[in-house]
Amino acid sequence: MAEETQDKDLFQSILGTVKDILSPGIKLLEDPASRTEFLNSLGLQDTGQSPEATSTESLDRYIAKEEKEVDAIQLADAMANLTHLMLSLEGFFRAAAASEDDPEFAGSEALDTFTNILVIDYIRRRKPTFHSVIQLISVLGRQTAAEGGSVKFVKDILIGYFKRLGQGFDKFATEEDAKTVSDCIFLLLGSGFFVLDKLVLEKYGIENVQIESWYGFEGVKTSTTPVADNITDRTLSYSITIIPAEKAETTLYNTLTWVPGDHGGLSLVVNQSGDLDYNLPVSEGKSVTFDAAGEGIFRIGNLPDKGLGGNNKIGVEFKHERSKPSMWSLFNQPAVKIGFGTYGLGFKITPDDFVLYFKSEMPFFFGRGGLTGFPFDKLPEKIEEKIPLSFGYSLKRNFFFGDSSAGTPAKTGTTTSALSREGADGGGAASSGEGEDGLVAGLAKMILNAIDLRLPLHKNLGNVMGLEVLNVKTGVQGSFDKMVLETSLDFWLKFGPVLTLAVSRLGINLEMEKRADNGGLAGYDLFPSIKMPNGVGVKVNAEVIKGGGFLYIDEPRGEYFGSLELQFKEIFTLKAVGLINTIMPDGSKGFSMMVIITAEFSPLQLGFGFTLLGVGGLLGLNRTVQVEPLRLGLRTNAIKSVLFPEDVIGNVPRIISDLKQIFPIREGQFLIGLMAKIGWGTPALIKIELGLMLEIPDPKILILGVISTKLPTEEAALLKLQVNFLGVVDFQNQFIYFEAQLFDSMLVGFPLTGSMAFAVAWGNQSVFAISVGGFHPDFRDYPNVPTLPSAFRDMARIGLSLLSGNNPRLTIECYFAITTNSLQFGAKLELLAYGPMGFNLYGLLAFDAIFIFDPFSFSIALEATLAIRKNSTILQGIHFKGVLSGATPWHVEGEVTYGLLFFDITIGFDATWGDSPTEIGKSTEDLLGKVKSELKDIRNWRAELPETQHQAVSHRSFEEEENPPLVLYPYGELRFSQRAIPLNYKIEQYGSLLPLKEDQFTISKILIDQEEQAKDTEKEMFAPGHFTKLSESEKLSRKSFEMLDSGFKLKDSGKLLTAIPHLNPVVMDYELNYTQDDDRALFAIGDLAFKHMVRQSAAAKSDLGWLKTKTRPLNSPAKVEVNPVGFAIADTSTLTDMAGGYRASTLAEAKEYVSSLVKGNPALADKIQVVESFELAL
């Protein structure tokens, strides 16, 4: 065991601390002037007497002793001295309070205040850093001492703090509540970042880490955005920048804020940007670990969109590796010692939890010494263990003892107590309904409800049985009306060389129920019972079959999962993973299942060199597939949890966690999938894992796969390539999407990176885009794929490292992209070579090109740099940057900069040449003629049925004619929509042409028989740059296509009668004939069974069926759709509405409206701007 560093036993240390706390107070009470002043401050009279003199000789002797071991006789004498000293102080304060109405109570209160002041003074003297931090958050101070002492500090601050958090924001309903909680938590975190920056980074001269944090915002009384100011005032933002010696600089940005109940939900909102995985050595044995990944906003709480960003995580942990832990002696014979070893503290945030934790290792030593009698002769001579101990606070589990992980599925071997099965939270505070408890009772209940310890044993008993973990869990319900103790074991049993059985948490539950008559044992009845295991595993090692499986049971949560992997005499391997839920997310009873089964076998020839290596299937009942987590799984390789998962026994927690995110519970949805594993060559040089999934009844088709190769051989691979890909055909949301990512790929030992995406969407959101490696840096009109907000964002460039290792590093990156209105491509070559003390050589050569189709323009940027730097600061270097754009006219601009230390010399250039843009009068277009032509084109007119109507009859088809007539439905709708000219929009240009005369068109009225008809506006996708003059920067930043007015929809009012009046009606006659079988057999089906069987029948699915018409009557209104927020016109200085409530659905319409306002009043040019409507000042 590690060498011990202290020479005092535990009781010696405790008594020494108590004496150190009391000594200044005793000296104060012995001085007459100080004593009188102190008693008067408490409202008491000085009797002129000091506390009775008490000998502390035995106490001082025990504190000063040099022996490490506990001396029971000396300890008893020291405790007697301390007891007499405390009784003397108690008598003194009661005498001082003799004139009070209740002298005994007043004396006790005065003693409490006195001891509290001494405790605070001890913290100030011995732990000044801790005292300063607590003072910073206004927890500890003189006022705290005067208002209740240390008891009040513990009860009202510490216990009250965890009690509020344990109630899960039930009281955090208003802006004021959110501010209180933010001050309590975020100010503490912000102070931690400040201490880390000032007392660690600066103290130890660490320059490669930069930390900045901001909390709060001081607004002004005249602010026009008071709501935003209040939110900002309770928001914590921080950034962590890492500048490693041999890697590129990385920065994590993060913003956190609470959402109170009156803002729509009780949640913690996190806005994260950047990935960070770095361990910062602080000093010997001390380090800080930053672990963050993901992008975008996610929420923890009960907002409707909580849990977004399923793969996001943020964690910061300080760890102190103590190679020589402190040890304290508890007993001498036998020798029992406990210690304090390695410890860590930090926080972790995931989309489903927020955790503050402290974890440590508690060294434990037992030695029997010279004791030889029973039971010591049956024990080992000595036992040395490190017992893990952790505690903290979690939004999901409240205050806890035990595992400090956040946002992870329950590990095999964790469970809830029997008390939890009856309604209490097994990991948090006691159940509601409890009365107010005293300080000791409340603290004891909080601790007992949090204890869930797993103590490692790792004892092998004759290679037949192994004891792995001892589990201890406690729980309290009400005011100690019921208590539960779980004692269980994780162990394994070996039945010969063939079979091994592993059992998790099998043991005994002891329930204690309080009696009304105080009978039984200490007033409780005891009910012991067998604690059934949470999980059972089997391992088989026979000649014919090898493998195993594990089944996990969590009955309180209604969750059961397991895995199986069996190898049949090297003929084939069978793997299965299953997940069953019997409790739905809303807490109701139900059933949901997810099963994946695969079989891998010796290659079967398919022809042309291809072989079949495996098959599999997937089945999900009351499950849906979330494309976004599956798409993110391409980068993290989580797709392998679905396609032929590996090591399903050891990786089952991760696989189940991935399946929960990708296939969440959704009643009424079903999944079915087929998988195949195909190889090419013998042995297989290329392997393809392919899966096809179908979701019904809301149809969705997914194709996912992994293509991998190692050439020329797997053992000596020069090329290692793995491509993860996903394809989605979503009929409900009307889009096709495909994405591929390179994962863990290398060429001759050099890393390969890259991604590719393709999308086509139809319907209201028409999209076409393909990108290999991302987009132009200045391009902002990213394709919007329905239900996939992160698609095409943060794509990895196609990259290759041309040198081995990270120092020096030479990398090349490139990209290529096509959208509906642009062509983009570019490349970058980067060199980075580090020397001593952070000095480095940096070189860059890059170009980016973009071509806009409508209206045509292009921009090509070139950049080059060569510099000597200290970290990221340039000491000497030259930099060139230039841009060529055109084509009418041509324009080039740029600059060359030479820098040396603190001086820069810059030479710029700017030139324009070539033909000027087409002028008016040279080329024009008759737009009115185009609009008339579109009105006459029958292809722009459509007859439609309302969503609430049904076509119950069939119409004969017209023979093909050059101009077929338009047939209207009875009670139907008539729709006109064209894509040539946007309506209600100012036309400045028509491509490269200008309007001949008219430049704006509006359909103001529709008349039938001189009667005006009501109409709705129709919209189509138009390119604003085709009709409006845009700058080069606007062409890159604005959307290429926007929805603008294109026509109208006319509802039937009884006037759409265009049939020829003299047509004679035809009387339809029907002949009915029933055919029956006289020998038919009857079979009675129960009512429930019959309804279940016909639920998915054709009649039930019919739009005219009872199941549909009962919820959507024939004449019910159409479904309601929420309009987009839109754009508004605001004052540039105050953000107040400047257009009397005007709202535009697109940016193009809003910009055109601003132009019309400025044309009428030029003074508004610098006073109004276009903003999204939610940005308006309230």
pTM (global) more than 0.75: no
Which helix (H) or strand (E) segment is 1127 a member of?
Answer: strand 1127-1131
Measured distance CA(755)–CA(993) in Å, rounded? 40
What pLDDT was estimated at residue 1106? 58
Angle, CA 797 vertex, CA 793 and CA 802 arms, to 5°: 160
- Helix (H) or strand (E) run with residue 365 in it: strand 353-367
The secondary structure of 987-1018 as a DSSP string is: -S-BTTBEESS---------EETTEE--EEEE
* HEC-encoded secondary structure of 552-616: EEECCCCEEEEEEEEEECCCEEEEEEEEEEEECCCCCEEEEEEEEEEEEEEEEEEECCEEEEEEE
pLDDT for the residue 1128: 86
Most distant CA pair in the chain, distance:
127
pLDDT of residue 431: 36
User: 797-809: buried (b, 16+ CB within 10 Å) or exposed (e) per residue?
Assistant: bbbbbeeeeeebb
Q: How far is Cα 252 from Cα 1066, in angstroms, rounded to an integer? A: 77
What pLDDT does 573 receive? Answer: 92
Helix ranges (DSSP H) in 127-278 = 128-136, 142-146, 149-152, 160-166, 175-195, 226-233
Q: Contact, 937 vs 978, CB < 8 A?
A: yes
Mean pLDDT by 10 residues, the chain (1178 residues): 49 82 83 81 76 78 76 80 84 77 72 77 72 51 41 49 48 71 74 74 73 71 60 81 63 78 67 75 80 66 48 80 76 73 84 80 74 62 73 72 46 33 33 44 70 77 85 84 90 88 90 80 84 89 88 87 88 92 88 94 89 94 90 87 88 86 90 94 89 91 93 84 93 89 87 90 79 88 78 86 77 90 91 84 93 83 92 87 86 91 88 66 80 89 73 61 68 84 88 84 85 85 82 72 87 59 62 70 71 69 60 48 71 81 82 84 85 74
Torsion of CA 289, 295, 301, 305, to 10 degrees: -170
The whole-number pLDDT of residue 139 equals 45
Alpha carbon of 1178 to those of 224, 229, 235, 485, 1126: distances in Å? 7, 12, 20, 56, 16
Token pair 């950049």: residue: 863
Q: Find how far residue 443's CA is from the centre of its chain.
A: 32
Ranges of each domain in the chain: 10-164, 413-541, 923-950+966-1059, 1122-1178
H or E segment and range at residue 1152: helix 1147-1160
Strand stretches in 643-734, DSSP E? 665-680, 686-696, 700-712, 717-730
Backbone angles phi, psi at 679, to 5 degrees: -125, 160
Alpha carbon distances (Å) from 124 to 41, 132, 150, 174 = 21, 8, 14, 36
* 986 three-state secondary structure: coil
Continuous H helices in 206-311:
226-233
pLDDT tens-digit map of 686-705: 999 999 999 988 889 999 99
Measured CA angle at 636 (ends 634, 638), to 5 deg: 75
Instruction: Tell me what pLDDT residue 166 has.
Output: 45
CB atoms within 10 A of CB 199: 11
pLDDT tens readout for residues 203-239:
666 777 788 888 876 555 555 556 666 777 778 888 8
Please give the pLDDT value at position 268: 72
pLDDT of res. 225: 58
